[in-house]
Amino acid sequence: MAQKNIKDNDKKKLDLKVKEEIKAKIAENAEQKQERKPNNDAIQLKPQEAYKFFQEEQKRLEQLNADLQQTEEVLFELDKTIFALTELEYAKDKEVLINFGNGIFSKAKLDDNTKFIVNTGSKAMLTKTSKDMIAILEKRKQRGIANAKKVNELLVQTQSNINSLYKYLSQLQQTQNAEKKA
């Protein structure tokens, strides 16, 4: 019973860091979304304000694209890790390559392919089974997918703002050009 509570606490500690990162990112995106002026207000802006807002929205669009790309990379890494853990179930007493990074590998033979040591981020290491790790990674993946959806929604809204502002600024330019000719 005590061991189960320890495992539950360890799992909570392991997930806590990821939860905090995702919550921070979502909160940051939500705050930025609230700070932005909605589509309809852009049309009521003075030309200089509209142009400034247009530039801000373009920068925001670039940042959101970078955030989405980073989230997709994390999801890709999660998929690779889940796949590797799944494949290791069949690798007992077989030779595998251990990646040390920077293209450095070592051959090793697995004695136990069901338990893994996991860094919790607080200088503590936990032993987890492959099934536990896959479950944890799948939860992270689902949160990542949810985050990607929210970022994508912000991308769509930002692009819509940019389109409205572009249309408004184009109309202003045409009006100014017509006034100069007259």
The CATH number linked to 124 is 1.10.287.370
Residue 14 in any domain: the answer is: no
121: left (phi over 0), alpha (psi -120 to 50) or beta: left
Residue 28 in any domain: the answer is: no
Please give the residue range of the domain that contains residue 130: 48-175
pLDDT band at 11 (very low <50, low <70, confident <90, very high): very low
Contacts of 82 (CB under 8 A, 6+ apart): 134, 137, 138, 141
Model pTM score: 0.64
Residue 156 in any domain: the answer is: yes
Residue 37 in any domain: the answer is: no
What's the pLDDT at 29? 55
Residue 73 in any domain: the answer is: yes
What's the pLDDT at 3? 41
Percent of the chain with pLDDT over 70: 75
Long-range contacts of 137-145 (CB under 8 A, 24+ apart): 137/78, 137/81, 137/82, 137/85, 138/82, 139/15, 140/15, 140/18, 140/78, 141/75, 141/78, 141/79, 141/82, 143/18, 143/19, 143/22, 144/22, 144/71, 144/74, 144/75, 144/78, 145/75
Each residue of 65-88: pLDDT tens digit? 999 999 999 999 999 999 988 888
What's the pLDDT at 24? 54
Distance from C-alpha of 143 to C-alpha of 145, rounded to nearest angstrom: 5
User: For residue 63, which phi and psi values (nearest 5 degrees)?
Assistant: -65, -40
Residue 16 in any domain: the answer is: no
What's the pLDDT at 30? 53
Residue 33 in any domain: the answer is: no
Count of structural domains, the chain: 1
Residue 165 in any domain: the answer is: yes
